Structure 1
Amino acid sequence: MNPSLQIMAAQVDPGLFDLPWDTPIAEWPEDIIAALPRGISRHTVRFVYLGERIIAVKEIGERVAYREYEMLRDLGRHDAPAVEPVAVVTGRSTADGEPLSDALVTEHLVFSLPYRAIFGQHQRQDSVRRLIDALSVLMVRLHLLGFYWGDVSLSNTLFRRDAGEFAAYLVDAETGELYPSLTTGKREYDIDVARTNIIGELMDLQAGEILQMDVDAIEVGDTFVQRYNELWADLTQTTTYSANETWKIAERIRRLNDLGFEVGELSMSRDKGGTQVSIQPKVVDAGHFSRKIMRLTGMDVEENQARRMMNDIEQYRATHFKSSTPQSIAAHEWMTHVYQPAINAIPRELRGKLEPAEIFHQLLEHRWYMAENAGYDIPSDQVIASFIENVLRNKPDEQSFIGKAAEEVLGPDTSDMSGMAGYFV
């Protein structure tokens, strides 16, 4: 091993030292490369097996690598939706002493897909709206934390399925900056960059005949700005109500919860006439239902999946227990007698199709459709058998989305691409 090689990490995996750092990562052997779908990038990126994990290795300058590593760690401390940094590798050189680029290592986000792969699965036109909604929620969450992205795009984002919608994760913090709070100017610049990039990326998909030509890319970009502004206003604006309209306060809190945010504190004040009440969310955190499911079951799932699970738990409690039964007891019984048996019934070879929480959500959807068509409840074993044969077997494997799927999505030239747009651009 090169004696000048240095690996900086909070916790170093010994397997990192065994990787061929004395070789450009574009030339690393195929037996350690995970053939995940990749897009166009200005950096060379490879996905590498490290024991039972998959990591992303990006060749980049030393200063930028350290800066991005620390930025991703800061975002992690704020529980921001972003990939997890693993290490910075410096002092690389070939066996002949030729210097090589330094590298940033991050965890691969399991069950995630870049936007090009999502459209490559022949998604419905509605997928555009769902991706835009997910990106707007991600931007609002980051801006609330004081994070200025500087290079917002679909390419710099990964998407995971979330109960029929998508949840978005930041994967490139190279241009990001973290402040106590963002100025309006920085927020508006981020929004403008996002709009421009979204329009360009969708037009690129259309040029490659991946996205339907009847999708108006400019309209989609404008919709993103509108969606972001509406969500930002809902979360931050001060609203004034008449004293006899205080019921609207509860209505607004419910709306914030429906958007995936929870109000931790409210600031109210009356004017001199005593007829007005002002309300402004002071502390808002995403994940209202996710935290509930985590507290009740220990499962870490996406927000919409958690909302659907909570609905199923409440239905189970209503039909199997007294109304006074604590939610924690009902949730435990639901896990034991509903959720876990359903997941265990999935054949082992199909469990990589979707993450367990998404499998359960789609199973609930299938149960509802079967009951609606039949006009009565269908036994669970029949629902599960039908779901496995008619739905799950036909889905692509999303746990790693490797091998032939990558070529089908991005074409036969994926091996020539120097990076993955969904990770680093």
Structure 2
Amino acid sequence: MDLQITATSPDHPATLLDLPWNVPLEEWPEEHLVSLPRGISRHVVRFALAGDEVVAVKEVGEWAAVREYGLLRDLDRMGIPAVDALAVVTGRTDDRGEPLEPVLITRHLGGSQPYRSMFETTMRPGTVNRLLDALAVLLVRLHLAGFAWGDCSLSNTLFRRDAGAYAAYLVDAETGQIQPALSRGQREYDIEVARVNIAGELMDLEAGGSLHPSVDPVTFGQAIADRYEELWHELTRESVYPVAKRHYIDRRIRRLNDLGFDVAEMQIQKSPDGDDVTFLPKVVDAGHHQRQLLRLTGLDAEENQARSLLNDLETWMASQEDYAPGDPLGARPEVLAHRWVRDIFRPTVRAVPRELRGSLDTAQIYHELLEHRWLMSERAQGDVGLDAAVEDYIHNVLLASPQGPAVPLPPD
């Protein structure tokens, strides 16, 4: 069979053709290889230069290579943190015509490291905790997307610094499967595998003298299971709040944000008697809120501003009589969003005197008003409303500022 390259981009076959496919991967000459830290793998893996791009090349059976290639592409479409699948190469033979194992090619994740290279200098317990937190977040995101990993471990994960924390990326999907939704048993199996694998990997580091003396492998293995359960519960539990306690919804959203999750939309349904609101959050990737707010309202805001405004919009929509998700007779979200801009957003911002706004744009003003309302509502143990928040914000924040009234903005 002739050499065949199945690639995600038309540019990749040309750059990949220059690699020595007639040579077993473990014998590739140094001129093609890139020296990067590698994790432990049951397969031969090498980093190589294909054109201007660094790629990871893994020898694996054809069925497994094609299957993992498809799974990684599916995860990419779902926005799950994982390495990018670039190509599968089959039909390899050596110079004598003997068949060679096919390979799966993925893009090297810049700035990432396998866990072993991170433990070359003894890592403090707090840093180990952050790594496990990142892996727990990844496992939760996979399960929410219906992906059963089957072999969750530190070895099958790459870690990359994300501001003051770490982000985890799936690097080996060979044992995974995607389903519409996972059963509790499937999730518990993944958690148990993760717990056992991580405890074993930390014991291995301990035996090699690379683990901090205060880190107990068994305790830290259990820690990822506990962290997972905390995240899963917070993300999937359905809550019922009285309408007069809408700041409880704000509290829940903030707790999710603190755990590293954003809320794309809230499935809010009023009860028949109108006394409470059922709230179920959904999870999204960064940048979603800017796009969503612009699409619904025409307001162009920064991501954190947009998240704050969308949370308020969703909660307000649930209070409208014609809010009926999925009902063709109900008002469309765009119609409700336009009404919110007209009746809530603009009047609220205009209630703040222009001479006090300074350089604050309208999205930032509204965001700060929402923050102020939240603090007032927490103190009062009940929703104080926007009008009271605006009045208090003007008198106790803007007018009380040591800089005094800000320079007026030009007319809108």
TM-score by length of 2: 0.69
Q: Which residue of 2 aligns with 1:270?
A: 271
Quote the Cα distance in structure 2 between the aligned partners of 1:325 and 1:275: 32
For residues 182-208 of structure 1, what are the alpha-carbon distances to aligned partners after superposition, in whole Å with 9 as ceiling and x for unaligned? Answer: 111111111111111110111111111
Tell me how far 1:254 sits from its aligned partner.
1.8
Tell which structure's C-alpha radius of gyration is larger. Answer: 2
The range that moved more, 24-33 or 206-215, is: 206-215
Q: What residue ranges of structure 2 are gaps of 5+ in the alignment?
A: 294-302, 308-356, 365-412
The alpha carbon displacement at 1:322 in A equals 1.6
Aligned counterpart in structure 2 of residue 322 of structure 1, from 359, 373, 387: 359
Q: Identity of paired residues, percent? A: 50
Q: Which residue of 2 aligns with 1:396?
A: none
1:335-354 → structure 2 map (5 Å cutoff): none
SS of 2:89's equivalent in the other structure is strand
Kept in 1, the 8 Å contact 2:146–2:181? The answer is yes
What pairs up with 1:405-424 in 2 under 5 angstroms?
Answer: none
Q: Is the 8 A contact 2:22 2:95 kept in 1?
A: yes
Partner-residue secondary structure (3-state), 1:18: coil
- Matched residue type, 2:261: G
Aligned to 1:163: 163
Q: Which amino acid aligns with 1:190?
A: D
CA distance in structure 2 between the aligned counterparts of 1:171 and 1:209, rounded to whole angstroms:
26
| Contact 2:159–2:166 (Cα < 8 Å) also in 1 | yes
Partners of 1:20 and 1:28 within 8 A in 2: yes
CA separation of 1:44/1:321 partners in 2, compared to 1, >3 Å: closer, same or farther?
Answer: farther
Per-residue deviation, 1:97: 1.1
Distance 2:27 2:290 in 1: 44
Aligned counterpart, 1:96: 96
CA distance in 1, matches of 2:24, 2:66: 19
Paired residue secondary structure (1:205): helix
* 1:60 alignment counterpart: 60
Q: Which has the higher contact order (CA 8 A, sep 6+)?
A: 1
Q: Tell me the equivalent position of 2:22.
A: 22
**Partners of 2:202 and 2:186 in 1: CA distance:** 24
SS for the counterpart of 2:202 is: helix
The count of corresponding residues between Structure 1 and Structure 2 is: 304
Q: For residue 196 of structure 1, give the secondary structure of its aligned residue in structure 2.
A: helix
Counterpart residue number, 2:284: 285
Distance 1:32 1:107 in 2: 15
Matching of residues 19-418 of structure 1 within 5 Å? 19-258=19-258, 259-270=260-271, 275-281=275-281, 283-287=282-286, 290-291=287-288, 322-324=359-361
Deviations along 1:207-236, one digit per CA (max 9) or x if unpaired, are 111112321111111111111111111111
Residue identity matched to 1:53: E
CA distance in 2, matches of 1:205, 1:277: 49
CA shift for structure 1 position 267: 2.6
The 2-side partners of 1:48 and 1:42 are apart by 19
| Offset from partner CA, 1:39-80 (integer Å, 9 cap, x none) | 332100000011221000000000000000000011111111
RMSD: 2.6
**8 Å contact kept, 1:253–1:263:** no
Provide the C-alpha distance between the structure 2 equivalents of 1:62 and 1:112, rounded to a whole number of angstroms.
27
Q: Is the 8 A contact 1:59 1:102 kept in 2?
A: yes
1:7 aligns with 2:5: yes
* Contact 1:271 1:277 survives alignment (8 Å): no
Task: Report how far residue 242 of structure 1 moved.
Answer: 4.1
SS state of the match for residue 279, structure 2? strand
Relative distance call for 1:223 and 1:49 in structure 2 (3 A) is: same
CA-to-aligned-CA distance 1:217-267 (integer Å, 9 cap, x gap): 111111111111111111111123345433211111122223222241323
Cα offset for 1:15?
1.8
TM-score (norm 1): 0.67
User: Structure 1 counterpart of 2:249, which letter?
Assistant: I
Query: Please, which moves more after superposition, 171-180 or 248-257?
Result: 248-257
